[in-house]
Chain A
Amino acid sequence: MNNALDLVTRVRGVRGAMLVSADDGLVVAEQLMEGIKGSAVAALAASLAGRLRRAMEAAGIGTSVFWHLQADQGTLLVVPAASGILVVAVAEPDVNIGLVRLELLRAGEAIT
Chain B
Amino acid sequence: MTARAVETWTLQPLTDFVREASVRLVLLMTPAGQVLAQSGFSRAVDVMSAAALGAAIVASTAELAKQLRQAPFAALNHQGHRHGIFLSTFPIERGTVVVLAVYDLDVSSLGLVQLFYEQLAADLKAASPKGSVPKQVLAADFERELSESLNTLFGR
**What's the nearest-Cβ distance from chain B to residue A25, in Å?**
2
Q: Are A46 and B109 in contact (CB under 8 A)?
A: yes
A25 to B113, CA, bound (A): 9
Question: Is A43's CB within 8 Å of the partner chain B?
Answer: yes
Identity of the chain B residue whose Cβ is nearest the Cβ of A49 in the assembled complex: B109
Cα distance A16–B22 in the bound complex, in angstroms: 27
The secondary structure that dominates the B interface is mixed
Partner of A43, one of B105, B106, B111: B111
Q: How large is the interface on A (under 10, 10 to 19, 20 to 34, 35 or more residues)?
A: 10 to 19
Within 8 Å CB of B114, what residues of A?
Answer: 26, 39, 43
Complex Cα–Cα for A26 and B79 (A)? 13
Question: Which residues does chain B contribute within 8 Å of A23, judged by CB atoms?
Answer: 105, 109
A62 at interface, CB cutoff 8 A = no
Complex: A11 Cα to B3 Cα, angstroms: 47
B22 to chain A, nearest CB (A): 8
B88 at the A interface (CB under 8 A)? no
Q: List 5 A-B contacts (CB under 8 A).
A: A23-B109, A39-B114, A43-B111, A43-B115, A50-B106
Interfacial residues, chain B to chain A (CB-CB below 8 A): 79, 84, 105-106, 108-112, 114-115
Q: Which residues of A contact B (CB under 8 A)?
A: 20-21, 23-26, 39-40, 42-43, 46-47, 50, 54
